Amino acid sequence: MLAPLDDLLRDAHVVALPLRNRFRGVDVREVLLVEGPNGWTEFSPFLEYGAAEASAWLRATIDFGWGAGLAPLRERVRVNATLPAVSAGEVPAILRRYPGCRTVKVKVAEPGQTLADDVARVGAAREFVGAEGRVRIDANTNWSVDETLRALDELAPFDLEYVEQPVPSVAELGDLRRRIAESGLGVRVAADESVRKADDPLAVARAGAADLLVIKAQPLGGVARGLDIVRRTGLPAVVSSAIDSSVGLSMGAFLAASIPELPHDCGLGTAAMLTADVTREPLLPTDGAVDVRRVEVDVDLLRRHAAPEERRTWWFERARAAYAHLEEGSAPASA
């Protein structure tokens, strides 16, 4: 059942939250927030996504604000630090924003940068967390199979936990995983875009193309749908954010806390990337973890960080278009 569109938009707010460092081409994160019967919920598909893809995010918004109650299995979720594609010299200051985090996710393959830049950044991250820490990399589909193998060979001294979605397609992921095994590099392959942007989110598992999944609550249509994908694939999962506000992060935290086995730290500490949030008690990492809880939004902060009126109008129209797809039953099953 869909919440009425009028209920979704009547008291909705659109805010613009600046980031401390540019991340995936974004300097300011815009999100739409609304309070449902269950509490505050978020709608924040990336700006370039069309109505069909955004409709899965809206389904998650409705589910979190109006859906059935959630029964998490844990009260806290261990999280990783997230390191943008910065210079090696900037690494310690950024990672100090994640107190107690034993894992670092490093962005690599940034357009305009070189493999040498990536090696220096990953090396600085390894030095910060020490030999007992964990370092993973995310290339966001920006490498070919050969480029990935070359990069993994260069990065081998840093003992990577896994490489996340370095190549675009499931077939390429499968080829990469096979060639990593043949080479003896010993690095696991994680799938992200091949799950959340796929017509069939189970295809990567059926193809044996990944060792684990990186899943996000909003793009997959909500907590229940995310849990179903994890269950049906049988693969370990890392729950990550989409540069959400603390409200969106709380949705991810409930998803992570509902997965029975959670061997890897999750990417839900990204409130540390924002210079502003919508709550006086943001979902920031402490002792390497975040709490699993609903977030209370502060009205004064909503006003302070309100997006310009033209952006508010744009987001409302976007929500209406996404809602129309849901009504038609045309939202992608996977998003």
Question: Would you list which residues are annotated within the binding site for Mg(2+)?
Answer: 138, 164, 192
The residues that bridge with 192 in the sheet, in sequence order, are none
From CA 219, how far away is CA 138, in angstroms rounded?
18
The residues that bridge with 82 in the sheet, in sequence order, are 105
From CA 232, how far away is CA 190, in angstroms rounded?
16
Q: Is 105 a catalytic residue?
A: no
Helix (H/G/I), strand (E/B), else coil: 122: helix
- The alpha carbon torsion through 325, 232, 82, 124 (nearest 10 deg) reads -140
Q: Residue 306 has which token pair?
A: 């309100």
Of 19, 64, 24, 20, the C-alpha closest to 47 is 24
From CA 208, how far away is CA 257, in angstroms rounded?
26
- Cβ(41)–Cβ(254) under 8 Å? no
Q: Is 107 a catalytic residue?
A: yes
From CA 325, how far away is CA 327, in angstroms rounded?
5
Residue with token string 């370092």: 135
Residue with token string 């924003």: 97
Active-site position among 136, 216, 225, 325: 216
- Cβ(250)–Cβ(283) under 8 Å? yes
DSSP string, 102-163: -EEEEE---TT--HHHHHHHHHHHHHHH-TTSEEEEE-TT-S-HHHHHHHHHHHGGG-EEEE
Active-site position among 13, 78, 107, 225: 107
Active site residues: 107, 216
